[in-house]
Amino acid sequence: MPGAANIVTAAGDVAIIVTDASGNSRCIHYQRATGMPLQYAEGTWTPAVSFAGGASGLTYTSRDGGYIMVGNLLHVWGTVVINAKGSSSGQLRIGGLPFSMGGSLGTRGAGAVSKLTNGVSLPTGLAIALSSGSNYGVVTGVTATGTTDVTNANVSNGTEINFSATYSRV
């Protein structure tokens, strides 16, 4: 079957199956009646913020996220509102991605920060750099001298972060 997995059928689904000279049958096409791809999922997830992996004393006012997965491609989005940033230091990471980023073909994915309020001395052009095999992205930005990580020094209590990213899970 396409995707090398069992398919739960529904009324109106259509399959094209061919049989070769040896009597082996193979499904070469499957179309759901809904029009949705075979490997499609939607869901929610809870993003987490850390500073270089640490979150000592960090608390949230709110955080929520969603995702759509088509095959191995994921699009995620979310909002995190930090109540207290705590005492950890280092690069700002958005973690808890619903699926780890794939590692077999290298880093494949990117994201953007559409809103970061109550920040301090923030660089421009905020982005999310995703790392192969991980379940987090590092928030980066542009300065006059190049690209830099956003760190705990750029975040205040009450900071709100809205973001989205697209990546492959294998």
Model confidence pLDDT, tens digit, residues 50-102: 999 999 999 999 999 999 988 778 899 999 999 999 999 999 999 999 988 87
Quickly count: other Cβ atoms within 10 Å of residue 81's Cβ.
Answer: 17
How many residues are listed for the chain in this entry?
Answer: 170
Claim to verify: residue 12 and residue 80 sit in the same structural domain: no
Token pair 């809103």 is at which residue? 115
Claim to verify: residue 66 and residue 46 sit in the same structural domain: yes
Claim to verify: residue 84 and residue 61 sit in the same structural domain: yes
For 2-41, how does the pLDDT look when each residue is reduced to its tens digit (9 = 90+)? Answer: 666 677 788 999 888 889 888 888 888 788 888 777 777 8
User: Of residues 131 and 113, which shows the higher confidence score?
Assistant: 113
- Torsion sign (Cα): 4, 133, 50, 81: negative
Q: Which of 50, 160, 161, 62 is nearest to 111 (CA)?
A: 161
Whole-angstrom distance, CA of residue 71 vs CA of residue 91 = 31
Whole-angstrom distance, CA of residue 41 vs CA of residue 99 = 12
**How many domains are there within the chain?**
2
Q: What CATH number has the domain bearing residue 71?
A: 2.60.120
Claim to verify: residue 84 and residue 21 sit in the same structural domain: no
Cβ(64)–Cβ(150) under 8 Å?
no
Claim to verify: residue 66 and residue 33 sit in the same structural domain: no
Claim to verify: residue 46 and residue 14 sit in the same structural domain: no
73 sits in which H/E element: strand 73-84
| Domain assignment of residue 15, given as a range | 2-38
Claim to verify: residue 95 and residue 126 sit in the same structural domain: yes
What string of H, E and C letters represents the secondary structure of 81-106?
Answer: EEEECCCCCCEEEEECCCCCCCCCCC
